[in-house]
Each structure stands twice: as C-alpha cells, then as structure tokens.
C-alpha cells in the first residue's frame, strides 16, 4: 500500500514537452504577426455632380506644390528633383513661414515655442500663416506614378506635421504620432498639438496623360 502511494506521487511529465512542441510548431506555422499600421489619410467628401466644387481662392504662395510624374520624377515647387531628402524640413519651413499673418495668426505665433518661432522666415513668397486656408500642401500624381513614390512623399509631409505638433507640446514627432488618444491626458496633448494648425494636405486627382 505504502509503496504504491509513493510511486504514484511522481507523474511522468516527459511527454509534456512533446505536446507543447506540437502546439508550438502549429502556432509558428500559422502565425502572421499582425501589422495594422499605416499612413492615415482622410479623403475629402464626395462631390455633388450638380454642384461645382467650391471655388477656393488660394494665392499661389500659399500652396506648396509637390508633383510626381509617370517616370517617378519629383517636381517640388516647379523644380525637378532626383530625391526627396530634406523635403519634410522644407514643408515645415513653408507651414511656419508666417509671411502675412492676420490677428489670429499673430496670436498663434506667440503661443508657439521658441524653436518653432525661429523657423518663421516671414518670406513674402511663402505661406501667409499655418491656419486653415493659409498653407496647403498639394500632392499631385499621374496615373502612371507608382504607389510607392506617392506614399514616400505623403510620408515626408506627414512627418513635417507630426514634428510641428510634437514640438508644440514638448514631444518629438515620433512620440506625438504614437499617442493613442485613449486617455484624457493623451487626448488633450493631441488636441493642443494640432490646434489651429490643420493638416492641410490636398491630394489632387491624378493626370491622365504624360507628364
């Protein structure tokens, strides 16, 4: 009796590893690590065919034109480029130019941290102010432009905005971008970052033919 009791106390766990291995291999094979990440974009509302699109009077200087043609060549402000290194800095300087600010824009300017205020060149050829209707980034493509190049450009422009937003609230662009907005504190940071500086990225309908 006593001997039997002592023997059954030891459970044979040797095959446990085999079972676990089998399951492990199953999950290894079926796994695709979820990647629900991407560049967010809000499309404009649909156009009513009976109503022409609202005429927006924007001065040439208030539009930062980026276009990519069907040979994947960049035209930035009518200038041919081979690559887009440093584009995000140019976009940042364009947004924060404050060339011709009105009263609200001056108030906005004064609320910015010194590092961003230092970027204001107040050039009369660049944007008036970063508030709505003041500085627009226009991205134009051709139907033959590759999707990859388009995303590259959009990526750079987004980077410029996130860096501005982040700097306003004392974060880096990357930290600002990864805010989830799920807690009240994070939401407040997000709102404070983008307050009065809307992400004005206009994605134009692509051209049908060459160039």
Partner 1 sequence: MSKFKKKTKAETNIPTSALPDIIFMLLFFFMVTTVLREQEILVEQKIPQATQLQKIQKKTLISYLYVGQPKNTSLYGSEPRIQANDVLINTSDIVLWVNQQKDNLSEAERDQIWISLKADRDVKMGPISDIQFELREADARKLMYASVGRVENN
For partner 1, the binding residues (CB under 8 A) are: 13-14, 16-17, 20-21, 23-24, 27-28, 30-47, 141-148, 150-152, 154-155, 158-159, 162, 177-178, 180-182, 203, 205-206
Residue number with CB closer to partner 1 (129 or 140): 140
The token pair at 94 is 């364009």
Residue number with CB closer to partner 1 (1 or 29): 29
d(CA 145, CA 158): 19
Please report how close the Cβ of residue 33 comes to partner 1 at its closest, in angstroms.
5
Please report how close the Cβ of residue 165 comes to partner 1 at its closest, in angstroms.
12
Element housing 159 (H / E): helix 147-168
Q: Are 48 and 38 in contact (CB under 8 A)?
A: no
Residue number with CB closer to partner 1 (128 or 163): 163
d(CA 40, CA 162): 12
Residue number with CB closer to partner 1 (2 or 38): 38
SS3 116: helix
Please report how close the Cβ of residue 41 comes to partner 1 at its closest, in angstroms.
5
C-alpha closest to that of 93 among 140, 59, 138, 127: 127
Please report how close the Cβ of residue 47 comes to partner 1 at its closest, in angstroms.
8
Please report how close the Cβ of residue 110 comes to partner 1 at its closest, in angstroms.
28
- DSSP designation for 207: B
Q: Are 163 and 173 in contact (CB under 8 A)?
A: yes
Q: Are 74 and 81 in contact (CB under 8 A)?
A: yes
Residue number with CB closer to partner 1 (20 or 185): 20
């Amino acid at each position: 009796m006593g001997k039997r009791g002592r023997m059954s106390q030891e459970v044979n766990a040797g095959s446990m590893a085999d079972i676990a291995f089998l399951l492990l291999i199953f999950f290894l094979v079926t796994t695709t690590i979820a990647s629900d990440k991407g560049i967010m974009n809000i499309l404009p509302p649909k156009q009513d065919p009976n109503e022409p699109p609202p005429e927006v009077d924007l001065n040439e200087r208030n539009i930062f034109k980026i276009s990519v043609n069907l040979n994947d060549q960049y035209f930035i402000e009518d200038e041919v480029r081979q690559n887009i290194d440093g584009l995000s800095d140019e976009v940042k300087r364009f947004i924060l130019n404050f060339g011709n600010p009105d009263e609200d824009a001056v108030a906005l300017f004064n609320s910015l941290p010194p590092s961003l205020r230092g970027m204001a060149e107040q050039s009369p050829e660049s944007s008036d102010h970063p508030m709505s209707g003041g500085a627009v980034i226009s991205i134009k493509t051709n139907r033959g432009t590759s999707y990859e190049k388009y995303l590259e450009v959009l990526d750079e422009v987004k980077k410029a905005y996130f860096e501005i937003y982040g700097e306003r609230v004392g974060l880096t662009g990357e930290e600002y971008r990864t805010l989830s907005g799920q807690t009240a504190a994070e939401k407040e940071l997000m709102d404070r970052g983008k307050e009065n500086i809307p992400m004005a990225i206009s994605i134009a309908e692509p051209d049908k033919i060459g160039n």
